[in-house]
Amino acid sequence: MKISSTIRAALFALVAFVGFAPASHADSGSVTLTIYKAGWIIGGSGGSGTLSFRGRQYGLSTGGLDYGLVFGGSKTELYGRVRNINRPSDVAGVYGAAGAGLAIGTGARAIVLTNQKGAILELTGRQVGLMANIDLSGLAITLK
């Protein structure tokens, strides 16, 4: 069976176009967050931070809910990086986690979270206050 020259030329052009199309590569940036958390069974959190991405700074707002064994109040300062983003708005979204922790005075904190857009937050820092928790939590991050 012979393939017509028109179809052959179209297939060749399609393969050439796909082969030379620029690939979209995800990038990374740095993030700092300050989060205040308080609760008794049901907890809430809120805070702010900054995304540094491709030489620019973007303000961030955070808020969230916790449900489980939550007791106390704390301030957490986190810093680290966000990976797998193409634009600043990719960091915005809802991040969910199950966790456990205890902070009496000052304690260390490390967390890795992923949102629905595939952004990956890798954060470390310190937590100050009195907080005991075994809970499910959700953190929403929005661009200011």
pLDDT by 10-residue block (mean), the chain, 144 residues: 51 45 72 92 91 97 85 91 96 82 76 90 89 77 94
Residue 118 Rama label (left phi>0; alpha psi -120 to 50; beta): left
3 state DSSP class of 116? coil
| Domains present along the chain, CATH in parentheses | 27-143 (2.40.128)
- Look at residue 75 in the predicted model and tell me its pLDDT: 92
Classify strands 120-143 and 56-85 as parallel, antiparallel or unpaired. antiparallel
Q: What is the Cα–Cα distance from 50 to 65, expressed in whole angstroms? A: 21
Residue 24: phi, psi to the nearest 5?
-90, 120
